Each structure stands twice: as C-alpha cells, then as structure tokens.
Chains A and B, each alone.
Chain A
Amino acid sequence: MKYARRTGYIMALIIFLLVTAGPFIWAFVISVTPDHAMFAPTSDLFPKKIIFDNYAELFSGGQRGNRFFMSMYNSLRATGITLCIGIPIAMLSAYVLSRMEFRGRKVIKNLLLCTMVIPVMATIIPLYRMFAVGDMLDDIFWLSIVYVSSYLPMAVWLISNYFATIPKELEEAAMIDGCGRAASFFRIILPISYPIILSVTLIMFLNTWSQFQIPLILASSMETKPMAIVVSEFMTKDTIQYGLIAAAGMIALIPPALAALIFRKYLISGITKGSVKG
C-alpha cells in the first residue's frame, strides 16, 4: 500500500513537472535551435547544434533588438507610474471605506466591486474617442491611468479586507495618546499592512507586464508600446522568425517568473485573500 502510494506520488510529480515546465523548456530549445533545423521533418526533439544567434540579435542593438528592449523599458515605465498612482489611491480609498462611517459607503463599495467583471472592450471605444479628442492617445502616463482604473477595484477590495482585520482599539489607543487620524494611519496602520501592500504591488506589476488589449488600442508608437505588443508584431509582420520570438518570449518572462519565485508567499496570500473573504 505504502509502495503504491509512493509510486502514485512520483507519477503525479512527473506529470505535474512535465506539463508545468515543459512549455518553457521547449520554447528555450526553439530559441537556441538554428532556423533550418527548427521544424525540420524529423522526430528528433533536440537540435544537433545549439546556437545563441537569436539572443545575440536581440542584444546586439539591431533594429528588432532595439524595439524589443524599448518595449520592455516602456512596460517598466508604465509599471512605475501605475504603482506610484495606484497604490496610494487604493490605500486611501480602502482606509476610508473600511474605517469611516458615512452615507453611501455600501453603494460605493458595491459599485466598485461590480467593475471587477467588466471586460476591457466595454469601455475601450469611448476611451479611444476621449483620448483622441484630448490628445492623450499614445501617452504612457494616460495609458497607466487606464491601467490604474482597471486595478483599483481589486486593490481596494484586498486592502480594505486587510484593514478590517486590524483591531480598531489599536488606533483608538493611539488617538487617546494624542495621535491624529493621519498620524495613526501612518504610524499604526501602514507598518502592519506591508504584507498586503506588497501583494497588491506584485499583482499590479504582473498585470501591467501582461497588458495587451488596452495598449493595442491606445498606444501606437515605439515610445509607448509595451512588451507583449512588440512581440506580437514579430509574429505578424513580414517574415516570421520563430527563433527570435522564442528568445524574446524567454527574456520577457524573466521578470514575472522571478517575482513569482521570490515573492510567492505574498502572491499566494494576495490571490487567496482577494478571492475569499474571511
């Protein structure tokens, strides 16, 4: 019985590893395979010769390489702006919604939650028009603000749920000791909420790094296009260079993969806390 269990576990482990890591490994193999051997009509899984030409092309400062790294830089800039604006607003709103009593609190909270399930396409046409009229198209700042609007419901929800678990007495004690509301927020609430803030920061970073639909419509120049759009252009324009796409994909997934590996504790608690109240 014990033996059967062990074998079962090892089988499950192998299947899990194959299915989870397999696509990454295969994309890496493609990225180091010479073009002519890539889809050669043989059933050999691995190339006879390994080349790093595709990576060299991306790093050597050629036209495609430049476009790719420019797009990574754009994604990074958008992440920066999104976080600088999104996190403070989310924290402030979460604090008000979880700690203050006022008319319409429930309505605002529920309206905010509702927007979580609205698809991007339902808002993008008027946004496109609005941005075209206001000369805001193709501007990384306004693009980031649109990202913020799509993350706020999730962020406010996560943070206010966390604030709700902090005992009110803690603040009340501080206020009796002469702390103002603002001071008690910065000195008491903020220091103990760092886990959730880290979780929200990570989720916002990963989402911004993934953006595709919004910039597809709102960003069109090399100075604003994010990573996913530029990689998709490698695919559809003129000749398709699969090796290059694979190499670009491998590089593009380093930041999110590192974030997921290093901060997995915060990511997991963020995902599960956001999904289930309690």
Chain B
Amino acid sequence: MKKKILPYLLLTPMILIMGVLVFYPIIATFSYSLKKWKLTAPGDIRFIGIKNYQDILQSDSFWYSMQNTIFILLFVVVFTTIVGCLVAAFLKIDVKWSGLLLALAILPWALPPFVNGILWKFVFFSGYGFLNKLLLGIGFISQPIEFLGGRWSLLLVISIVVVWRSVPFMALVCLAGRQSIPGELYEAAKIDGGSGWKIFRHITLPLMLPFVGVGLTSTSVTAINVFDEVVALSGYSDLGKNILMESYLTTFTFLDFGKGSAMTYIVMLFALILGIFYLRSLNKEVEY
C-alpha cells in the first residue's frame, strides 16, 4: 500500500503548483469568457453565453490585430527557418574560433526580449537612427524613413526583431539534427556513387525533418505570443498590436474581463493547434 501512495505523494508539490496556478486559471478564464464582466460596471456581472466571442469576431479591431498576428507569424516562420538553416550551416564549418562564434550566435536568444526590442529601436529609429544614417550616408535616400510610423513597416521591424531572437534556437536544433546523422551513412552513400544533391535529398533532408519540425513549431508559438518587442518598439499603441496586445488592452486598459478572457481563449486555441504538432514531434523518436 505504501508503495502505491509514494509516487503521488512525491508529485504533490508539482501537482499543487500546476493545478492552482495553471489548470484552474485556464478553466476560470473560460468561464469568465462566457460572462458580461466589466470592472467599470461591477454590479452587472452575468452569464451571456458566447456573446463575447460573437462580438469579438464581428469587431474590426479584432481582425486588424489578427491580420497583424498572421503577418508576424508568416514572416517569422519563413525567415527564421531560412536564416536558421543558413546559420547552422555556417556554424558547422570547423574553424579555430568556432566556440566563440557559437557563443555569439546564442546571445540574441539569451537576452530579455524587451531589451532586444530596445536594441533594434535604435537601429530603426524613425529620425536619424542607424539605418537612416547609413542609407543617407550612401546616398540611397534623401529623407529619413519613418520605419516605426507606418503599420506595415512597423510590423516588418517587429518581425525582423523576433526573427533575430528566434534564429539561434532554430540553428541549434538544425545543428543537433545534423550531428545526430551517423557519418557512416554519408560514407556508404559516397561509395555507392551518390552525388551531393542526391545525398542531401535522400539522407540529410529526411533525417533532419523532425528536428526542423521542432524548431518550426516552437518558432510559431513564439511568433503568436510576441508582446515585449511590440511594447519596446511602439508602446501600447494600436498601430502594431497583435491579438495578445489587443487582449491585454481590452482586459487591463478597458477593464473588460469578459471580452479579454474570450480573446485570450482565441489566442490559446491558435497556439494550441500549433502546439499539438510541437508536442507530437517532441514525443517522436528519431529512427535510422
């Protein structure tokens, strides 16, 4: 009997923390999302079913944020994958200072995302920031460009910063994938007369796909949940807001807890769909 209780007993601290601080809030958020609940009208809290969701799906503001979220998601996923693979290929080249390059490569990943946002704000500063100075200096433009002033250019800058932060993870995962492929496979292929492209197509690509999959899904979840960089680059303004920012503003600026909760549920569903792929690729064993 004692043996059967012991595992649960030892897991109690973890179950308690996760239960109270993660699982209960997720369920509570859902119940909030079905209520009319504004802090500005504290006397009027009642169950209204899916009305919050209907209102959200009909509001222009939501679709504006949704477009922004999808723009960031697509840009970040495509460019993180491309640049990540390139950086992995670059880091694989064995030179004397390989270790140092690797350390430098993970730096963007290790920094606080908010500080990342600040670093890049100085580069893309709308007046005479680095990029404007550079472009003016080489005579490419005659007037400074307002990088952070327009919707799409702001989104572009946000996406670039997120790519910069996500590339290290992607590169490391690709590197790990490449290193896990046994060298004998390549030797055998060469003896059999395989050409460079054929070896890549039939050995490197299929064996690395699960690894790239992990990087891809993790990057997608990051891209949906961008928040710190948006604040650093444009403050709590409407211009570059994504759904996460929209839900933050609805909840904590307009104090509409019901609608805010419904919105976070929509974000979560979005993240969860991608997350399922992530979990599945995490759980999959790589076979040779």
Contact = CB atoms under 8 A, between A and B. Distances in A.
Nearest to A94: B14
Interface string B4-25: 1011101101110110011111
Contacts of B221: 117
B99 interface: yes
A1 interface: no
B196 to A, nearest CB: 14
Interface of B: 4, 6-8, 10-11, 13-15, 17-18, 21-26, 28-29, 32, 87, 90, 93, 99, 101-115, 118-120, 122-123, 125, 127-130, 133-134, 136-137, 144, 164, 169, 172-173, 175-177, 180, 210-211, 214-215, 218, 221, 224-225, 227-228, 231-232, 235-236, 244, 247-248, 251-252, 257, 260-261, 264-265, 267-268, 271-272, 274-275, 278-279, 282-286
B99 A117 contact: no
Contacts of B231: 212, 232
Given A23-B120, A113-B279, A276-B210, A122 B268 contact: yes
Interface stretch (A49-57, A58-66, A190-198, A246-254): A246-254
A253 to B, nearest CB: 5
A45 B134 contact: yes
6 contacts: A26-B123, A112-B18, A117-B221, A123-B25, A256-B111, A272-B172
Given A20-B105, A212-B227, A278-B286, A100 B29 contact: no
Contacts of B28: 125-126, 129
A100 B11 CA distance: 11
A276 B176 contact: yes
Contacts of B144: 41
B239 to A, nearest CB: 15
A26 B271 contact: no
A212 B228 contact: yes
Q: Interface residues of A: mostly helix, strand, loop or mixed?
A: helix
A92 B130 contact: no
A114 B108 contact: no
Interface string A244-268: 0110010011001101110010011
A222 interface: no
A115 B215 contact: no
Contacts of B104: 17, 20-21
Interface in A134-151: 145-146, 148-150
B133 A44 contact: yes
Contact of B267 (A41, A114, A121, A125): A121
Contacts of A17: 104
Contacts of A259: 110
Contact of A212 (B105, B113, B136, B268): B113
Given A102-B8, A117-B221, 14 more contacts: A17-B104, A27-B118, A42-B133, A45-B137, A115-B18, A123-B22, A149-B21, A150-B22, A210-B112, A210-B228, A212-B113, A276-B176, A276-B286, A278-B285
